[in-house]
Structure 1
Amino acid sequence: MRTRAQQARRALLLLSPALIVLAVVIGYPVLRAIYLSFQADRHLDPDTGVFVEGGFAGFQHYLYWLNQRCMGSDGLATTCPPGVLSTDFWPALTNTVGFTLATVTLETILGMIMALIMAGNYKGRGLVRAAVLIPWAIPTAVTAKLWQFMFAPQGIVNSVLGTDIMWTTDPWAARFAVIIADVWKTAPFMALLILAGLQMIPKETYEAARVDGASRWQQFWLITLPLVRPALMVAVLFRTLDALRMYDLPVIMISPSSNSPTAVISQLVVEDMRQGNFNSASALSTLIFLFIFFVAFILIRFLGADVSGTGEQRAAKKEAKRRQKREAKAATVQMGAS
């Protein structure tokens, strides 16, 4: 126990610089944003004609976003006029969730296929891996402009398909274009993480399966998929959290306006800040943080995404206990036979 306590203190001492930096860079901005979300915006006092601090606003900013309420001149949420919706929060949230489901699903499937190809043993494997990872290495802004040119009315996509689809203005076509561009860029990232999991599978397992007469599909379904599942779940977790924070691709490729058919919730935060509404933007940032935290909890709790690696340790301990029980049972049988 004393040795463990010394090791814990030494580990804490070594980690303390990194923890302090994280607290300053991440912890303080998060706490500051939460504090601002409960403060009313500065507004013009009609009596004095000067700007004054709004003071404590409670959950008014959260109501402004969630209940589609308007912001009054005093910096507090109020009822909107008939037929007027104040924010695009729910449409943007729908776009964000839709993009996340579509892109993560397609990237997982394509990433698995690319990882299986890159894991093969053949000539030119290094060249294939380098070629697959090129889209992921390209900056997102460059990717957005590249696909914007390709989806232009006279672009290569319409020329190849022989169509005249307005990819950047038609709502459904614009959403489809953003999904294609995002999948093209980030599927290699999924492939890289899945490839790391594939390389951890012992080759002897496949050799034993081939000796037993297992087909390639049986090897994939009964060996590859179960053993690569921890790495696959971590890849899905990271990619899901990244997709929920999507901002630059639809902004550069389609439009920076919150009224755009591809607007996501991160766009609302930036646009609100540009208008000087820092407190309501902080409230929306807090809502995004809570939503992403909830999604991460669901993925870790119910889908088995083992981020810390403790799941593998627990599985190894269970397997060791089972082995000990089997050995003890075999020893008991031998003693009885003798």
Structure 2
Amino acid sequence: MSIAAHDTDPQAEAADSGRRNKKKNSEARPEKMQNAWAAWLLAPTILLLLVVIGYPVISAIVMSFSKDAGLDANGFFVQGGAAGFSNYFAWLFQQCSAPDGGTAACAPGQLGSQFWSATGNTFFFTIVTVALETIIGFWMAIIMARTFRGRGLVRAAILVPWAIPTAVTAKLFFFMFAFDGVINKMLGTQILWTGSEWPSKWAIIISDTWKTTPFMALLILAGLQMIPAEVYEAAKVDGANAWQRFRMITLPMVKPALMVAILFRTLDALRMFDLPYILTGGANNTDTLSILVVQQIRQGYNSASALSTITFIIIFLVAFIFVRFLGANAFQSSTGKKKAAK
């Protein structure tokens, strides 16, 4: 065999390379046009979000670095000049305003002294309510995913609490948890549910769980309906019992939807305001960070802006932990899935 037989024709190789490059360019052109159209269509929405969300956030951050100098003769807040990080230090290190114009350690019951207790209450309500809503919502989703007569009516009935406005729900439970309300009469007790610390906290937890569990059930149901029925049938043929099918099939395959549901509900619970505010007004150590922000607004916008910025950072860090370490990515693209698979 001659050496020339192994040599390739340079002209043929150049022609093949040209055809391949032309094919790649022709395939890339529609994708580029699609991306350009997507950018133009999203531009108005992004601009609106920058105006509606971006400006208030930036404005609050700027205000948080200014002092509160009290009220003028007309009852408006007066700007007191630059404050640096003093507003943040006042909240984080419990430094309140002193009569001489300086700062001193916050006295018990003073508004600034409630920051860490409000933070603890916020996380307590979030952890307990999200855990209960996840467990009960999972159970509801499994029931709604089954085929039986009247399934549509059951689904509609389960979603009713979520459809009721939160303020209406809070007022409803306010009357139910009254001393002579339905709860005490059903249990045969005489508990001041909104008059002491732990009964008040459990009243908030029960109310919020009743209100928001259908939301969790709806999102988990969407994940359950994506699981092929053939997988369960194959597991039954292999002799897997109900618990093994739940542990080895249902939980792993519903995990993406479950984590997204927990993420959304956690972020919502960290901003809890209207339900505890209507039920207890933040009394009996039931105040949350959002309630504390509203209370602080009445004393000064700038320090309230610092507190709202701290709240935003806390919620952002929680969301980052969920997305980065727990896999709760609601916006994962197909490219991201391919990279993760590799």
Q: How far apart are residue 72 of structure 1 and its match? A: 4.4
User: 2:203 corresponds to which residue?
Assistant: 177
Of 160, 183, 190, the residue aligned with 2:186 is 160
SS of match in other structure, 2:312 = helix
The verdict on how the C-alpha distance between 1:184 and 1:313 changes in structure 2, with shifts beyond 3 A counting, is farther
User: 2:301 corresponds to which residue?
Assistant: 278
Q: How far apart are residue 4 of structure 1 and its match? A: 3.7
Of 269, 281, 284, the residue aligned with 2:293 is 269
Of 287, 290, 305, the residue aligned with 2:310 is 287
In structure 2, what is the Cα distance between the partners aligned to 1:166 and 1:286? 35
The verdict on how the C-alpha distance between 1:213 and 1:279 changes in structure 2, with shifts beyond 3 A counting, is same
SS of match in other structure, 2:305 = helix
Q: How far apart are residue 2 of structure 1 and its match? A: 4.6
The verdict on how the C-alpha distance between 1:317 and 1:27 changes in structure 2, with shifts beyond 3 A counting, is closer
Structure 2 stretches lacking a partner, 5+ long: 1-27
Checking the alignment, whether the CA contact within 8 Å between 1:247 and 1:264 is kept in structure 2 is yes
User: 1:33 corresponds to which residue?
Assistant: 60
Amino acid at match of 1:261: N
Checking the alignment, whether the CA contact within 8 Å between 1:44 and 1:73 is kept in structure 2 is no
Checking the alignment, whether the CA contact within 8 Å between 1:71 and 1:78 is kept in structure 2 is yes
Of 93, 98, 103, the residue aligned with 1:78 is 103
Amino acid at match of 2:324: R
The verdict on how the C-alpha distance between 1:84 and 1:233 changes in structure 2, with shifts beyond 3 A counting, is closer
Q: How far apart are residue 8 of structure 1 and its match? A: 2.3
Deviations 1:197-247 (A, max 9, x none): 111111111111111111111111111110000000000000000000000
The verdict on how the C-alpha distance between 1:10 and 1:77 changes in structure 2, with shifts beyond 3 A counting, is farther
SS of match in other structure, 2:80 = coil
User: 2:224 corresponds to which residue?
Assistant: 198
Moved more, 241-250 or 8-17: 8-17
Query: What is the 5 A alignment of 1:165-314?
Result: 165-255=191-281, 257=282, 259-275=283-299, 277-310=300-333, 314=336
User: 2:49 corresponds to which residue?
Assistant: 22
Q: TM-score, normalised by structure 1?
A: 0.86
Of 35, 55, 64, the residue aligned with 1:8 is 35
Q: Root-mean-square deviation (CA), in Å?
A: 2.2
Deviations 1:81-132 (A, max 9, x none): 7778543111111100000000000000001000000000111000000000
Runs of 4+ in structure 1 over 4 Å off: 81-85, 312-319
- Does 1:54 find its partner at 2:80? yes
The verdict on how the C-alpha distance between 1:269 and 1:77 changes in structure 2, with shifts beyond 3 A counting, is farther
SS of match in other structure, 2:285 = coil
- Does 1:105 find its partner at 2:131? yes
User: 1:324 corresponds to which residue?
Assistant: none
In structure 1, what is the Cα distance between the partners aligned to 2:118 and 2:108? 19
SS of match in other structure, 1:167 = coil
In structure 2, what is the Cα distance between the partners aligned to 1:289 and 1:51? 24
SS of match in other structure, 1:262 = coil
Checking the alignment, whether the CA contact within 8 Å between 1:107 and 1:186 is kept in structure 2 is yes
Q: How far apart are residue 52 of structure 1 and its match? A: 5.5
Structure 1 stretches lacking a partner, 5+ long: 322-338
Count of aligned pairs:
311
Identical residues among aligned pairs (%):
57
